[in-house]
């Protein structure tokens, strides 16, 4: 019985350390880098593997494949996006030889983590301004699920659970009542 419990505990611990991308890509990819450095000196970094995350700002189907324009967000060692504001923009190309991605799924505002090979820079526009942005060829991509929005719930010590009285904004408790 103890052996079974020990094996179950070990399996639970191992499964909690899972990465969002393939382990070999996560180990070989560079996670801590600056997009400005890549843009300033692209020749020094061409062909290197990078792990990056971001929020999709736009996506188009081109002759070369599916091109994603995203805001850059650094990732941790497991591929999860760090809690910090976006820091620059980049392009990520999913080559047509690898298949196709659905533009309805990879839409504006969705979060992604990807492993990509840096292939150079490409000119792009943000609004009316022209920019030179880093371009990555996607090796593997992970699309994060859309966050589910639920109404806030709190416990009123006198009346029990409430979804919010009609005289308050929906889902907010009166001042002085803590969230539980």
pLDDT single digits (tens) 50-108: 999 999 999 999 999 999 999 999 999 999 999 888 889 999 999 999 998 999 999 99
Helix spans in the chain (H): 2-15, 23-28, 35-40
- Asked whether residue 47 carries a pLDDT value surpassing 50, the answer given is yes
Domain locations in the chain as residue ranges: 21-143
How many Cα atoms are found within 13 Å in the side-chain-facing hemisphere of 17?
7
Q: Which CATH class, in words, describes the domain spanning 21-143?
A: mainly beta
Which pTM does this prediction carry?
0.74
pLDDT tens digits, one per residue of 100-159: 899 999 999 999 999 999 999 999 888 888 999 999 999 999 999 987 665 545 555 555
Predicted pLDDT of residue 8: 54
C-beta contacts of 97-104 below 8 A and 24+ residues apart:
97/65, 98/65, 98/138, 100/61, 100/65, 100/66, 101/59, 101/66, 101/141, 103/59, 103/60, 103/61, 103/66
Spatial CB neighbours of 139, under 8 Å, sequence gap ≥ 6:
25, 49, 114, 115, 116, 117
CA separation for the pair 65, 59 (Å, rounded): 11
- Asked whether residue 174 carries a pLDDT value surpassing 60, the answer given is no
């Amino acid at each position: 019985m103890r052996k079974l419990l020990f094996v179950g505990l070990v399996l639970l611990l191992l499964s909690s350390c899972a990465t969002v991308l393939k382990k070999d890509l996560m180990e070989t990819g560079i996670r801590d880098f600056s997009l400005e450095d890549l843009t300033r000196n692209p020749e020094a970094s061409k062909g290197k593997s990078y792990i990056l995350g971001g929020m999709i700002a736009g996506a188009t189907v081109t002759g070369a494949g599916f091109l994603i324009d995203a805001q850059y967000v650094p990732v941790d060692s497991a591929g999860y996006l760090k809690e910090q504001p976006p820091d620059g923009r980049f392009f990520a190309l999913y080559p047509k030889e690898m298949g196709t991605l659905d533009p309805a799924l990879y839409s504006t505002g969705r979060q992604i983590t990807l492993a990509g090979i840096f292939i150079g820079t490409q000119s792009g526009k943000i609004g009316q301004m022209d920019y030179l942005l880093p371009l990555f060829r996607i090796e593997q991509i992970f699309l994060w699920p859309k966050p589910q929005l639920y109404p806030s719930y709190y416990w009123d010590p006198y009346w029990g659970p409430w979804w919010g009285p009609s005289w308050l904004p929906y889902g907010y408790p009166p001042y002085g009542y803590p969230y539980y």
